[in-house]
Structure 1
Amino acid sequence: MGFPPALGDKISKTMPPAVMGKDISLAGMFDRSDDRYSEASEFRALYEDDPDVREVVETAKGLEGLKRQPGVHAAGVILSREPLLDVIPVWKRDDGSVVTQFDMGACESLGLLKMDFLGLRNLTILEDCLAHIRNNRDEVIVLEDLTLDDRVTYDLLSKGETLGVFQLDGGQMRALLRSMLPDNFKDISAVLALYRPGPMGANAHNDYADRKNERKPIGSIHPELAEVLAPILDETYGVIVYQEQVMSIAQVLAGYSLGQADLLRRAMGKKKKEILDKEFEPFANGMLERGYSQDAIDTLWAILVPFSDYAFNKAHTAGYGLVSYWTAFLKANYPAEYMAALLTSVKDDLGAGGKMSVYLAECRRMGIKVLPPDVNESDSDFTPRGEDIRFGLSAIRNVGEGVVESIIKSRRSKGRFADFPDFLRKIDDKACNKRVVESLIKAGAFDSLDHTRRGLLAVHIEAVDAAVETKRAEAIGQFGLFDDAESSTGSSVGGLELQIPVDEWDKSTLLGHERAMLGLYVSDHPLKGVEHALARASDCSVLTLLNDQPDGAVVTIGGLITTVTPKVTKKGARWAVVTIEDLESSVEINFFNKTYEPIALQLTPDRVLLVKVRVQREDDEPRFTGLDVSMPDLAIGGSTGPVVIKLPNARAVPAVIDALKRVLATHPGQTAVMMHLTGDKDENTKVFELQGGFRVTGTPALYADLKALLGPGCLG
């Protein structure tokens, strides 16, 4: 329509926020009978006042509800005893797959069987990890033989150190684990079932955690129902967690048969709220006949309905929970092997916010050194080497799988490479390619051969040319009487004597080339040494911004600008997409015209900045809008003083103090913690050092956790 992105941003900010993941429709914003009509008054006012907004909204209203595109179930497969062409119309897509032209409901109503066949990347991770354990430790692990009581695994879960663990990877899930402190498999099963819209709508996830750890008493849904529900809900601390519990409740309280209760379960599993509403009358009548009050009925039903949004059955969550336990067990007990398998699974996810940088940061936190690629040590994929992980050669840009296989084959058949000339002599012509060799140099794959990257880049073209000529001559047998294809030794290649310079690039240039080849920094990072100063000046890390900050939040992050992509609207207004990264992750931020113009000169690659960002989560993918930038004071980057926590006296209540202790305990170290309890007047401020073993490591992760608990101004 030719309007700038800022107009869409302006409109979206006035739209009511989603409730439990569900947005109000455009039609609903103008429909007085809609339950959320009153929330859209600001949106309607903008619609009335701005003709451009009115044009956009009217166009959108005409599009709303139309089929945008055909959808294909991610894992659904239709089975029939008859040829499908005799039963339903099918459609062959451009990618060669054959799909039904009827939706799944219509297919099921025709008597066809629909089954979901799910493929999990995590199963490949498990398989790769077990192979790494065999090769690196000479141990054989059989997952099915593991007991479910490993204390090291439950310690990892209780600390929320579950990045890369199946189903437990998200920031809010990790916070829930720290609150729940799981210590048995039932807790793992429960947390997977509870971290869903339905149970969360009833605050069941927090109730379970608080009751389990005796922060709250185990209460009943309703006083009349306490005794009758005890046998059903005691194992989950009085909280409804599973579909099977709902079935039992319907049977015991409303007199449902097992078949009727199963229909209720199926309605919940398919999120059919209209069926649930129809079920209320017989459910209520059944409870009334058994002597329960209308208040007890309404209270119970008010919990069951939001639970229906996404309920799990116990078998389902236990099956998922077993994979979660296995991945947590391997991460806790075989960290290098597990993280190598995990990194291999995301080696192509190098974009802004990609998992590769997130998991590399997790390796650093765990004390696992991720070594740069090396022509003598690396395999194709990430591989554990003792307690470290070696970067895979296939992850280097311009170095394909065929080239990697050729290098590894040459290394195994002819021996390790002594130096750069020896490498060129031993490899075959598939790997002896100027583009490939340049990429290997810039990625640091020859560092262990005692050459500088800058020196190798200066001579690699003539060296490769000489090596290629020799290999061609060898292939056709064109050698003089006294020539020998293998006779070149020392620093010579194909008769060319190499003089490799010893000077090196500065750190910024070296790391820039490394990032260009690997997609991220590996051997070092420009922010190393200043990360603590950035963390103190920021509200959260980039990873927390991506995963945990809610829609509408305005926060400050700190990081390094890696790319700036200028844009121009159809009306000629300049704006830009800027990629910011810290040691954990990276994110793309939109700077629209009014914000961009005054600060454009500050938005340059390799500059360290603080950026104020607004979060928008209306769409499937979150969007981030830059509001302002500032230069951080990096002078305190090397500070080794105590971590100073400021807390108002009024907030120093047991619940907050307990939560603070849990946060500090998850970041153990040698740094002291000072508390500043502030009152209304300066003389009421108390300053003291925390005793009782509370020593921490002052990392960005600690500062982010403290700010999430106590607010952005909690650090002194």
Structure 2
Amino acid sequence: ALELEGLYRNASTHAAGIVIGDRPLTELVPLYQDPRSTIPASQFNMKWVEPAGLVKFDFLGLKTLTVLDRARAYLERRGAAKDWNTLPLDDARTYELMASGQTVGVFQLESQGMRDTLRKMRCGSIEEITALISLYRPGPMEMIDTYIDRKFGRAEVDYLHPSLKEVLTETYGVIIYQEQVMKIAQILAGYSLGEADLLRRAMGKKKKEEMDFQRARFIAGAMEKTVPEVQSGSIFDLVAKFAGYGFNKSHAAAYALISFQTGWLKANQPVEFFAASMSLDLSNTDKLAVFYQDARRFEVPVLSPDINRSSADFDVAWDDDKGAVLYALGAIRNVGLEAMKHVIEVRETGGRFADIFDFLERVDPRSVNKRALEGLAKAGAFDSIHPNRRQLLEQADVLMAYCQSVAAERASSQVNLFGGDQAHVGRPRLKTVEPWVGPERLDHELSAVGFYLSGHPLDEMTSALRRKRVTFVAEAIPLAESGHEAFQMAGVVRRKQERASARTGEKFAFVTFSDPTGEFECLFPPEQLRKCREVLEPGASVMVRVRAKSS
């Protein structure tokens, strides 16, 4: 066992690391074949591949680029295509969107903390977006308030030394980028560009011997430029502190450009933005619910799935100047994306479905099984050809048996006496049942879609709730941001998570409620939970008195 200590346990490959050489890699490094990949891998780790003569690149896949590409395709269909690389970088709508913090789905800017920072920083240029992306990381995050206060004149800008004003003006005296570290060394201490790059690397690695050497070199170079030793030593220590988490500006700028492009898309073409964004989260119902509520805030309609209109993926529909998002058939639970692609192919080949039997006679039951049929029915996808959802769900076995018998006849090429297809023979007679109404209909829809789409259980109570001075979540958010704390709210319980306090062992709970304008979460401390536990069950309609703060 002692002989095994310190040896490598296993080999693995970097998630995004690609090496490139000027000749066959076998002449430069030992390779091995990863059984999980078709691409050979270097046996050297990333520390040694560069000294061996290879260039290492990190290629990261961004789904945001796919969102932009898909949105461009939507725009092309209505003659409004855009070249993302030629957008005007002074677009007022985009910066207004960012300043309001309405950046759900915007690359790098959608976390709650980032949205709060955007409201405070009020970015007005691509340079400020670049700075924000660089600052909003562990380490430099502590300088965000300093940056904002200096930007708005609430604090004096300190450039460390008069000769550094040009380098630090853009960032209000805050050292943010690795390029600034290198430039400071060149201007203040006479470093060459190559020496400055070595300084940047040394500061990143924080090796004491190398840092001691660089500090002495920096002070000596600064003294030659008549900068006192005490001042240059202080500046070096400050630069070293920032350099430890300094960001590469070109990297940050590339990210900022994508942030601006997605922000521009959301601010100027929200229909295409939401359709493209929801397509990339097709199987994530929690994220789809967030986008749905955000689309409502932007007054973008999201239409219920329709077997004769929707695609397997999210799509857009325009009627004159009014656009809407068509809900994806493939986003319905338990139906399967490939099965819905089959349905769309059948529809495009043979035309719209006339009724439920026409649908069953044309689709392949190996693709559209009973679970898929039930999911489509509960989601309301058949409403345009068979509005009684309950009838379809309760007699799904009969319908699928018919679908399978038609498929079997089709496979055996049996024809009737008149030479026509036998698909219409023996259509089952469905039992008459009362359709679902109100909450029952919505509950089934909720189980299929993951959130309330065509309506909300509290819709019929809106007037009564208003009389009781209930505040809906869409109204509560701006009120909380402006300083209001106490609200009377109402909602349907979606989820309840009970946890035990590490200190006392008492149970408390996080409860998620849904109202007609969105979702909100409440913390129930132990005392309140004991009083309310029985009514805080999923599906229950509850009125709550809350104290809220904008987070």
**TM-score clears 0.5:** yes
How big is each residue's C-alpha offset from its partner over 1:79-132, in whole Å with a ceiling of 9 and x where there is no partner?
454545983464635577755554311333444432211211111111111111
Distance change >3 Å, CA 517–CA 277, structure 1 → 2: farther
**Which residue is 2:68 aligned to?**
126
Please tell me whether residue 266 in structure 1 is matched to residue 201 in structure 2.
yes
| Aligned equivalents of 1:574, 1:417: Cα separation in 2 | 57
| Contact map agreement 1:470 1:494 (CA 8 A) in 2 | no
For residue 154 of structure 2, what is the amino acid of its counterpart?
Answer: K
Q: What pairs with 1:295-314 in structure 2 (closer than 5 Å)?
A: 296-314=231-249
| Contact map agreement 1:535 1:558 (CA 8 A) in 2 | no
Please tell me whether residue 219 in structure 1 is matched to residue 154 in structure 2.
no
How big is each residue's C-alpha offset from its partner over 1:594-642, in whole Å with a ceiling of 9 and x where there is no partner?
9999986555322467xxxxxxxxxxxxxxxxxxxxx7259xxxxxxxx
* Displacement of 1:469: 2.0
- Structure 1 residues 182-191 or 428-437, which shifts more? 428-437
| Aligned equivalents of 1:567, 1:208: Cα separation in 2 | 39
SS at match of 2:56: strand
Equivalent position to 2:449, from 510, 518, 539: 518
RMSD of Structure 2 on Structure 1 (CA): 4.2
| Contact map agreement 2:391 2:430 (CA 8 A) in 1 | no
Equivalent position to 1:206, from 142, 145, 150: 145
* Displacement of 1:218: 4.5
| Contact map agreement 1:188 1:321 (CA 8 A) in 2 | yes
SS at match of 1:376: coil
| Contact map agreement 2:275 2:315 (CA 8 A) in 1 | yes
| Aligned equivalents of 1:322, 1:539: Cα separation in 2 | 29
Equivalent position to 1:496, from 422, 428, 435: 428
Please tell me whether residue 468 in structure 1 is matched to residue 404 in structure 2.
yes
Please tell me whether residue 177 in structure 1 is matched to residue 110 in structure 2.
no
Task: Note the residue ranges of structure 1 that are not aligned, 5 or more in a row.
Answer: 1-64, 545-556, 610-630, 635-702, 710-716
| Aligned equivalents of 2:366, 2:522: Cα separation in 1 | 37
* Displacement of 1:330: 1.1
**Which residue is 2:351 aligned to?**
415
For residue 357 of structure 2, what is the amino acid of its counterpart?
Answer: P
Distance change >3 Å, CA 566–CA 334, structure 1 → 2: closer
| Contact map agreement 1:459 1:500 (CA 8 A) in 2 | no
**Which residue is 2:90 aligned to?**
149
**Which residue is 2:45 aligned to?**
103
Distance change >3 Å, CA 540–CA 173, structure 1 → 2: same
Equivalent position to 1:441, from 349, 371, 377: 377
**Which residue is 1:370 aligned to?**
302
* Displacement of 1:535: 5.1
* Displacement of 1:256: 1.6
Q: What pairs with 1:336-355 in structure 2 (closer than 5 Å)?
A: 336-350=271-285, 354-355=286-287
**Which residue is 2:291 aligned to?**
359
How big is each residue's C-alpha offset from its partner over 1:507-555, in whole Å with a ceiling of 9 and x where there is no partner?
1x333332332333322345765796475999999xx9xxxxxxxxxxx
| Aligned equivalents of 2:491, 2:213: Cα separation in 1 | 54
SS at match of 1:517: helix
SS at match of 2:316: strand
* Displacement of 1:347: 1.6
| Contact map agreement 2:511 2:523 (CA 8 A) in 1 | yes
| Contact map agreement 2:28 2:52 (CA 8 A) in 1 | no
* Displacement of 1:499: 5.0
| Aligned equivalents of 1:538, 1:139: Cα separation in 2 | 36
- The TM-score, its normalising length taken from structure 2, stands at 0.80
Equivalent position to 2:342, from 399, 406, 420: 406
For residue 456 of structure 1, what is the amino acid of its counterpart?
Answer: L
Distance change >3 Å, CA 194–CA 448, structure 1 → 2: same
SS at match of 2:395: helix
* Displacement of 1:378: 0.8
SS at match of 1:166: coil
| Contact map agreement 1:221 1:299 (CA 8 A) in 2 | no
- How many residue pairs get aligned? The number is 520
| Aligned equivalents of 2:512, 2:43: Cα separation in 1 | 44
* Displacement of 1:475: 3.4
| Aligned equivalents of 1:210, 1:566: Cα separation in 2 | 41
For residue 515 of structure 1, what is the amino acid of its counterpart?
Answer: L
**Which residue is 1:256 aligned to?**
191
| Aligned equivalents of 2:345, 2:325: Cα separation in 1 | 21
| Contact map agreement 1:432 1:467 (CA 8 A) in 2 | no
| Contact map agreement 1:161 1:174 (CA 8 A) in 2 | yes
| Contact map agreement 2:495 2:513 (CA 8 A) in 1 | no
| Contact map agreement 2:361 2:423 (CA 8 A) in 1 | no
* Displacement of 1:466: 2.6
| Aligned equivalents of 1:310, 1:148: Cα separation in 2 | 28
| Aligned equivalents of 1:374, 1:359: Cα separation in 2 | 19
Q: What pairs with 1:6-21 in structure 2 (closer than 5 Å)?
A: none
For residue 150 of structure 2, what is the amino acid of its counterpart?
Answer: R
* Displacement of 1:376: 1.0
* Displacement of 1:253: 1.3
**Which residue is 1:425 aligned to?**
361
Distance change >3 Å, CA 443–CA 306, structure 1 → 2: farther
**Which residue is 2:486 aligned to?**
none
* Displacement of 1:322: 1.6
For residue 129 of structure 1, what is the amino acid of its counterpart?
Answer: A
Distance change >3 Å, CA 278–CA 375, structure 1 → 2: farther
| Contact map agreement 2:317 2:326 (CA 8 A) in 1 | yes
How big is each residue's C-alpha offset from its partner over 1:451-500, in whole Å with a ceiling of 9 and x where there is no partner?
12112223333233234323422432434425743784xxxx73333455
Aligned identity (percent) is 35
**Which residue is 1:548 aligned to?**
none
SS at match of 2:60: coil
SS at match of 1:115: strand
How big is each residue's C-alpha offset from its partner over 1:17-46, in whole Å with a ceiling of 9 and x where there is no partner?
xxxxxxxxxxxxxxxxxxxxxxxxxxxxxx
Please tell me whether residue 458 in structure 1 is matched to residue 394 in structure 2.
yes
Please tell me whether residue 139 in structure 1 is matched to residue 80 in structure 2.
yes
| Aligned equivalents of 1:443, 1:249: Cα separation in 2 | 61
* Displacement of 1:589: 9.9
For residue 404 of structure 2, what is the amino acid of its counterpart?
Answer: V
For residue 149 of structure 1, what is the amino acid of its counterpart?
Answer: D
Please tell me whether residue 605 in structure 1 is matched to residue 541 in structure 2.
no
| Contact map agreement 2:315 2:326 (CA 8 A) in 1 | yes
For residue 414 of structure 1, what is the amino acid of its counterpart?
Answer: G
**Which residue is 2:258 aligned to?**
323
For residue 512 of structure 1, what is the amino acid of its counterpart?
Answer: D
| Aligned equivalents of 2:99, 2:442: Cα separation in 1 | 37
**Which residue is 1:619 aligned to?**
none
* Displacement of 1:279: 2.4
| Contact map agreement 2:379 2:444 (CA 8 A) in 1 | yes
SS at match of 1:154: helix
**Which residue is 2:550 aligned to?**
708
SS at match of 1:496: coil
Equivalent position to 1:247, from 182, 186, 196: 182
For residue 302 of structure 2, what is the amino acid of its counterpart?
Answer: V
How big is each residue's C-alpha offset from its partner over 1:295-348, in whole Å with a ceiling of 9 and x where there is no partner?
533543453233223322332222222211111111111101111111111122
| Aligned equivalents of 1:316, 1:495: Cα separation in 2 | 63
Task: Note the residue ranges of structure 2 that are not aligned, 5 or more in a row.
Answer: 1-5, 482-488
Distance change >3 Å, CA 588–CA 267, structure 1 → 2: farther
Equivalent position to 1:632, from 534, 544, 551: 544
| Aligned equivalents of 2:518, 2:237: Cα separation in 1 | 41
| Aligned equivalents of 1:494, 1:463: Cα separation in 2 | 12
| Contact map agreement 1:193 1:312 (CA 8 A) in 2 | yes
